[in-house]
């Protein structure tokens, strides 16, 4: 018999880097992720939940960025790009 567990979690989605010159000095990835985590901590106090997770391309620089904020790799998921090409996303989570 396989056991499974369900937990309430928040997905931080569509966090990305804009490489255009106009966006260069607006906000860093660090500032954006910290703002998202602060919002989740407010939501956690208001409605509960204790886990945040992100999905990212399998890129060591990107994965290290999230791991520096306490996210831990826990699984992968197959996804399809806008060109219908399958690719794998790494799933990471952290406790709030």
Q: State pLDDT tens for residues 19-66.
A: 677 766 788 888 999 999 999 999 988 888 889 999 999 999 999 999
Tell me, what's the pLDDT at 86? 82
Instruction: Give the other-Cβ count within 10 Å of 52's Cβ.
Output: 23
CA atoms within 13 Å, Cβ hemisphere of 58: 10
Of 72, 78, 76, nearest to 92 (Cα)? 72
Domains of the chain, each with CATH number or no CATH: 9-95 (3.40.630.30)
Query: Is the pLDDT assigned to residue 73 strictly greater than 90?
Result: yes
Q: Which residue has the tokens 């996210």?
A: 71
Of 30, 32, 8, 18, nearest to 93 (Cα)? 8
Q: What is the mean pLDDT of the chain?
A: 86
pTM score > 0.95 for this model?
no
Helix (H, G, I), strand (E, B) or coil at 32: helix
């Amino acid at each position: 018999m396989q056991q499974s567990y369900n937990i309430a979690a928040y997905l931080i989605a569509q966090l990305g880097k804009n490489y255009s010159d106009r966006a260069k000095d607006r906000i860093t990835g660090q500032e954006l992720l910290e703002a998202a985590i602060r919002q989740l901590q407010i939501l956690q106090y208001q409605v509960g939940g204790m886990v945040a997770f992100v999905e990212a391309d399998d890129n060591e620089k990107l994965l290290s960025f999230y791991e520096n904020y306490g996210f831990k790799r826990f699984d992968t998921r197959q996804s399809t790009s806008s060109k219908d090409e399958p690719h794998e996303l790494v799933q990471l989570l952290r406790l709030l």
